[in-house]
Structures are given as structure tokens and as C-alpha cells.
Chains A and B, each alone.
Chain A
Amino acid sequence: MSLIPLAAFFLALLIGTIMIAFLGANPLVAFQALLKGAFGSMNAIADTVVKATPLLFVGLGICIAFRAGVLNIGGEGQLVAGALSATIVCLNFPNLPGWILIIIALTTGLLCGAIWAGIAGFLKAYFNVNEILSTIMLNYIAAYGMNYLLSGPIMDPLQIRLGSFIPQTARLPQAVDLPRLIPTRLHFGTIIAIVFAILVYVFLWRTTIGFRIRMIGQNIQASRASGINVQKYMVLAFILSGALVGLGGAIEVLGVHHRIFTDGSVSGFTGSAGFNGIVAALFGQLHPIGTIPASLLLGALLTGANKMQRVVQVPSALIGALNGLIVIFVVGSEYLRRCQTRRVERTEKVKKNSKNIDEKETE
């Protein structure tokens, strides 16, 4: 574990401090409000964890994809695909026993996320379509698809009867609410997320398929030469990645919102979790276990930012800007780290060489 992500984090925070001061607000008061909002009470801590949960799911998906060398930026769309499909399932089979419906809904969410990401994976592997662009486009397609469905076909019948037409579905049957852990908003989905973090770790580092996925990310030519079907594993990485994100979307519905809603914008439902999850994964050094504390930290920032906005009128969009900076700093500092290791290697080599010469001379 290197200190680079933390350095990146504090550098971003420093810039955030300057920006807050620039607004004429007292940064100390602002950060105090942020900390209080994130950890100030039992409810605040629970909210932080609840906020971190989808970030962890997205982050885990990103870990698999990035490790395979494919940049899945489609977290937003995959979250929507998972959430939307789970909602539709729950709305259509309200009479099934709760726990069966929960399992079906989560599985559907997982599958739809996988399919949505699989499209990009397929296009990348067999048509060489840049996956960053295709996943971004799929984000918009998913968001507008959701907005369409919410504007009519699956709109809450009550909204239609009242004539208020708020674009949201009916509340899902209470039977499918994920169990609460303590009397806060904390729900069972967080535990599922942590279990999956461990599973992803075991998968990537302890199984053959995981090894191959990491191998094509490390060196695609060597993988091809050693007989790995690179295309197949690329698609697989996308599918697994999307499955985790889709599951995260479904859990967000069953655990937190109990319905789907939109404000018309593309990130109305997800709250940009699809992008923030990327930040979490990079911050966790693309390691599933490292992504857990990284998601928590970002979840705390996002939760605290809402409080900060109320107390010192610093818009919570600030956190979005800081997240971008964290990404830039983390990828930017990779080079410095590489330089350092190279320098160490070189000095060791020089030492070895001079040792050899010394030995020869003594001979």
C-alpha cells in the first residue's frame, strides 16, 4: 500500500480549501460541517455507509474491468439498467413472497447490468470500438430510456390520477425492502457489497480465470501468444464488471429508495455514483479490498458535503470537482512511482556491477 492515494487526496482537499476560502467561507467551519455531516451521529455514519455502498459495487466492477485493461466508464448506465430492471420485476410480481422476489429482483438487476456492459465489451472485442466512448454513450441511452419509462409506461398510477405527473414509479411493496441492520437507513446491501469485495479479490487473485483477466490487462500480446482467447476474456471482464454494478443499482432501489425517480437529467437517479465509483476504485489502487475504505471515504465526503452546503452554502458540487482532481493526481503520480522503482532498480544494478568488477579485480 503506497501513500500516493492519500497524498492525492490531501492535495485535492487543499485545493478544495482554497476554493472554499475563495468563496469567502471559512474552510475550517466548512470542513467541520462536512465531518459532522459524515460522522456526527449514528444516523450520519449510517448515511455515509449507505452512500458508500453503490460506490463499492461500482468500484468492484471497475477493478475487474481496469485490471483486464478495459476502461468501463459505463457505471451510470449499468446502475440504471440494474435498478430499472429490478424495479420492473418488483412492480410486476407484487404477490410473490418477499424474499423470493428480492432474490429474483437482485438477479435480474445483476443480469441487466451485465448485458448493458456486455454490449460495450462485445463491441470492443469484436469491432474494436473504443470502450470509453461506447460506455459513455450507453450511459446516456440508459438514462433517456429510464426517463421515457418514468414519463409514462411505469409512472406511479397515483401521479397520473392526481395529475401531478412526477416522474417516479409507485413505491415498491414493503415485502421487498432489504432488511435494516440497525434502526437507521443502513441496510443489508452493505453486507452483500463487502462479501462481493472478498469474492472479487478471491476471483482475481486465486482463480485461473481471474489470473487470465489480469494477464490480458498486463500484456495483451503475451496473453495472445500463450493461447488465451483475449476477445472472450475481454467480454467476460465487461460482463462481470457490469454484473456487479447492476447488482449495486438493484440494491440501491430495494435498500434505499424503494422506487425509481428522475429529475430529467442523466445523473438524476444515480447521483453520479457511476463516476464516483471509478474514483473509489482508483483510490483503492484497483484492489477490491482497498476499494472498501476508498468508497467509505468518498461516501463520507458526499454525505458531509450535503451538510456543508446547508451550513456554509458551499455547493456540494465541490466534491465532484475534487473527485476529478483525485483521479488526475492518482494517475499522474503513477509515473513518479514508476520512476522511483526504476531508480532503485538502477542503483541496485550499479551496485551489483561494481561489486562484480571489484570481485574480478581482486581475482
Chain B
Amino acid sequence: MEAIIIGIAKSAIRLATPYLYASIGETIGQLSGVLNLGVDGVMLMGAFSAFYTVLKTGNLILGLLMAIVVGAIFGLLIAFVNVTLKAEQGISGIGVYIFGLGLSSFLFRTMVGTVETVSGFPPLSVPLLSNIPIVGEIFFHQNILVYGAFALVPLAWFILNKTPLGLCIRAVGQHPETADSLGVNIVHIRYLTVIFGGMLSGIAGASLSIALLNVFQQNLTNGMGFIAVALVYFGAWRPATVLTGALLFSTVNAIQIWIQVKGINIPSDFTLMLPYIVTIAVLAAMAKRRIHPPAALNKPFERGE
């Protein structure tokens, strides 16, 4: 029993990685007032570019960098459409999703074609800490992207709450008129947060294709990016609560995988459904808590003249 729980906990920590990168990035973007629903598409592109680079060069760092660059390019596109062209953010996000899904499938079909695996980031034992019984096994025998994801949470908290930049970001999302009158460049801040979010989505994708699963296939993420957006609502735009949500989902995923591997007699389609049902339930439960999103979320800024 103990071994089972340790096994599930360990894989839950691992599986929280893509959710964490994507939803922390989305949190920062939403706090500045931009709702990006294209996360899933960007994740797919990040996953493919990292995978392809590693497949061809074997260089994991280069693969990760490619995912970041591609994520940044997508972030730039999203920022241009939502901030500069002031598009309806819900619909443009779906456009980005369809684009990313189609493009990653297209590139995969033309450049790779068949199922291939790469050897991804190896587990890295943290000296001393990994020797702690149970805890060490669960937390400190993971690969570097997992550590990075967990380090991101306090970092995001610090930037958002303790630095002038974080104050600017939140001001732009809560009350752009005031921020504007104080001389904050709203367009710059929103570009910055959205491009940064794109980079993190790219890493989220890479964490799937070159660290956790080490494969690429069409629609590899299976809606994970949308769940990451849901986690931002769940986390009430606070990194620490987003972390809780990510762990909740990764635990559900870990249990689901365990059930499948163990061959327990529950149809796999039902266990696969689980994360999506939990998402809806969680979103509905959140509504009772009366936490309001950033006031300017989904509202393009127009300076009154």
C-alpha cells in the first residue's frame, strides 16, 4: 500500500509540471487583463518543436530553447491580435488553438510522420534531500523541468506581489485607466505578460514531449491547455492556489494512469474522462466563492479622448 501511494504521489508531482508552467503563465497574462485561450495550441507547438529538435540533434537544452522561442513567437501573435488589434479574446484564443493544433499536426506529418521516441531529461537526484525517506523519493528524484515548475510558483508570487513590475501588471489588469494616467504603458505590459505566458506554454509543451512522455503525436496535450486555463480560475489568480489546483489534477491523472496500468476493471474511457469532469465540477464550485477576476480581463484598453 505504501509503495502504491508513493508511486502515485511521485507521478502526481511529475504530472503537475505542464499544468504549472501553463497556468502560471496564464495567471500572469490574465492579471494584466488578457484572456489567452490558445494555451493548448501553443503547448502543442512547443511540444513539437522541442521534440523535433531533440530527435534531430539529441540536444535537450536546444530543444527546450526552441520550445521557448516558438512559445514567444506565438505569444507575440496573441498579443498583437488581442492587444493591438483589440480582438474578442475568447474567439481569437480558439483561433490560436485551432492554428496550433493544425500546424503542429501538419509539421509532425511532414517532418516526422511516424511514432518515434526520444530520450528526455533524466531524473536528477538532489544531494542529501533525496535521501530523506519517502519525501526524498517523491520530491527529489525528478527531472529538472519538474523542479523548474515548482520553483516558478514562489518566483511568480514574488514578482507579482513584491516588485514594481508586479504592481504594474496587476494595476493594468484591475484599473487600466488609472495605470495609464500614472504613465504605465499598458500595451508594453500586456505584450510582456502575454509573450512570457507564451514562453511558459512552450515549456509546458516541451515538458510533455521531452521530459514526461518523450513522444509526440497529434493533439498530444488532449485539452491540457484548457484545463490549465481552468486552473487559473480555480486558483483565483494566486500562484499558490494555482499550485494546489495543479496538484489536484495531476493526482487525478496519476490515479487514472495507475488504474490503467494495474488493469483494474474500470473501462479506461471512464478514467480518461475523469479530469474533464473534475474540471467542470471545480469551475462550478468556484462560482460559490465570489472571487472576482481582474476587472479589465477580456477588455481591450481604449484611452478615452
Residues of A within 8 A of B (CB): 19, 23, 66, 71, 73, 123, 127-130, 132-134, 136-141, 144-145, 147-148, 151-152, 265-267, 275, 278-279, 282, 314-315, 317-328, 330-336
CA distance A336 to B84 in the complex (A): 10
Q: Are B284 and A129 in contact (CB under 8 A)?
A: yes
Roughly how many angstroms separate A335 CA and B81 CA in the complex, as a whole number? 10
Chain B residues whose CB sits within 8 angstroms of the CB of A133 once the complex forms: 226, 229-230, 233, 279, 283
Given known A-B contacts A144-B272, A148-B267, A331 and B91 have beta carbons under 8 A apart: yes
| Range of interface residues on B (Cβ < 8 Å) | 35 or more
Report, nearest first, the 9 A-B pairs whose CB atoms are least far apart: A324-B99, A320-B102, A327-B95, A321-B102, A324-B98, A148-B269, A315-B109, A317-B105, A328-B95
Q: Which residues of A contact B205 (CB under 8 A)?
A: none
Closest Cβ–Cβ distance, residue A349 to chain B (whole Å): 13
Interface bits B266-300 vs A (CB < 8 Å: 1, else 0): 01011011001101100110011000000000001
Task: Give the residue of A73, A320, A335 whose beta carbon is less than 8 angstroms from that of B94.
Answer: A73
Known A127-B287, A129-B280, A331-B81; judge A137-B226 contact (CB<8 A). Answer: yes
Q: Which residues of A contact B116 (CB under 8 A)?
A: none
Q: Is there an interface contact between B95 and A331, defined as CB atoms closer than 8 Å?
A: yes
Are A147 and B269 CB-contacts (below 8 A) given A321-B102, A324-B95, A328-B92? yes
B219 CB-CB contact with A under 8 Å: yes
**Contact of B97 with A by CB under 8 A:** yes
A279 partner residues in chain B, CB cutoff 8 A:
98
* A132 in contact with B90 given A123-B280, A318-B106 (CB within 8 Å): yes
Cross-interface CB contact of A140 among B92, B93, B97, B276, cutoff 8 Å: B276
CB contacts (< 8 Å) of B99 on chain A: these are 321, 323-325, 327-328
The answer to whether A334 and B96 have CB atoms under 8 Å apart is: no
CB neighbours of B92 from chain A (8 A) = 327-328, 331-332
Taking A133-B279, A137-B277 as contacts, is the C-beta distance between A123 and B284 under 8 angstroms? yes
Q: Is B85 in contact with A333, judged by CB distance below 8 angstroms?
A: yes
What are the residues of chain A within 8 A of B230 when measuring CB–CB?
A: 130, 133, 137
Is B103 part of the contact surface with A, judged by Cβ < 8 Å? Answer: yes
Q: Across the interface, which residues of A come within 8 angstroms of B226, CB to CB?
A: 132-133, 136-137
Whether A327 pairs with B91 at a CB distance below 8 angstroms is: yes
Complex Cα spacing A19 to B109, Å: 13
B96 and A324 form a contact (CB under 8 A): yes
Asked if B219 contacts A266 (CB within 8 A), the reply is yes
Interface majority SS on B: helix, strand, loop or mixed? helix
Q: Does B181 sit at the interface, judged by CB under 8 A? A: no
Say how far B284's CB is from chain A's closest CB, in angstroms: 5
- The listed residue with most B CB atoms (<10 A of its CB), out of A66, A129, A267, is A129
Residues of B with C-beta under 8 A to A323: 98-99, 102
Contact across chains for A282 and B91 when beta carbons are under 8 A apart: yes
Q: What are 29 contact pairs spanning A and B, CB under 8 A?
A: A66-B91, A71-B94, A128-B287, A129-B284, A133-B233, A137-B230, A140-B222, A140-B223, A141-B277, A144-B269, A144-B272, A144-B273, A147-B269, A275-B98, A279-B98, A282-B91, A315-B106, A315-B109, A318-B106, A320-B102, A321-B99, A321-B103, A322-B102, A325-B95, A327-B91, A328-B81, A331-B81, A334-B85, A335-B86
Q: Which residues of A contact B94 (CB under 8 A)?
A: 71, 73, 132, 275, 278, 327
Chain B interface residues toward A at CB < 8 A: 37, 41, 77, 80-81, 85-88, 90-103, 105-106, 109-110, 218-219, 222-223, 226-227, 229-230, 233, 267, 269-270, 272-273, 276-277, 279-280, 283-284, 287-288, 300
CB pair B103–A141 under 8 Å, yes or no, is: no
Contacts of B227 in A (CB 8 A): 137
Measured between alpha carbons, how far is A127 from B233 in the docked complex, in Å? 13
Nearest-CB distance from B160 to chain A (Å)? 22
Q: Do B102 and A319 touch (CB < 8 A)?
A: yes
Pick from B87, B96, B106: contact of A317, CB below 8 A. Answer: B106
Report which of A138, A139, A336 forms a contact with B85, defined as CB distance below 8 A: A336
Tell whether, in the assembled complex, residue B85 and residue A324 are in contact, meaning their CB atoms are under 8 Å apart: no
One of B102, B267, B277, B280 near A324 (C-beta < 8 A):
B102
Can you name the residue of chain B whose Cβ is closest to the Cβ of A119?
B280
Enumerate chain B residues within 8 angstroms of A130, measured Cβ to Cβ. 230, 233, 283
8 more CB-based (< 8 A) A-B contacts, given A136-B226, A328-B92? A132-B93, A138-B276, A140-B223, A144-B272, A266-B222, A318-B106, A328-B95, A332-B81
| Chain B residues near A318 (CB-CB < 8 A) | 102, 106
Complex contacts, A19 vs chain B, CB 8 Å: 106
CB nearest to A334 among chain B residues: B87
Instruction: Identify which of B90, B98, B101, B273 contacts A141 (C-beta below 8 A).
Output: B273
Question: Contact: A334 with B102, CB < 8 Å?
Answer: no
Q: List the A side residues contacting B90 at CB < 8 Å.
A: 71, 132
| A313→B159 CA distance, assembly (Å) | 48
Considering the complex, give the chain B residue whose CB is closest to the CB of A25: B110
C-alpha spacing A132/B283, complex, angstroms: 12
Chain B residues whose C-beta falls within 8 Å of the C-beta of A322 in the assembled complex: 102
A136-B223, A145-B273, A321-B103 given as contacts; is B98 within 8 A of A327 (CB)? Answer: yes
Q: Which residues of the partner chain A approach B223 to less than 8 Å between Cβ atoms?
A: 136-137, 139-140, 266
Name which residue of chain B comes closest to A278, CB basis.
B94
Instruction: Report the minimum CB–CB distance from A63 to chain B (whole Å).
Output: 13
Judge whether A320 and B273 touch: CB under 8 Å.
Answer: no
Residues of B within 8 Å of A334, CB to CB, are 85, 87-88
Residues of chain A lying within 8 A (CB to CB) of residue B105: 315, 317, 320-321
Given contacts A140-B273, A147-B269, contact A315 B110 (CB under 8 A): yes
Nearest residue, chain A, Cβ from B87: A331
Q: How far is the CA of A132 from the CA of B276 in the complex (A)?
A: 13
Nearest-Cβ distance from residue A323 to partner chain B, whole angstroms: 6
* Separation of A314 and B105 alpha carbons in the complex (Å): 12
**Which residues of A have CB within 8 Å of B95?**
324-328, 330-331
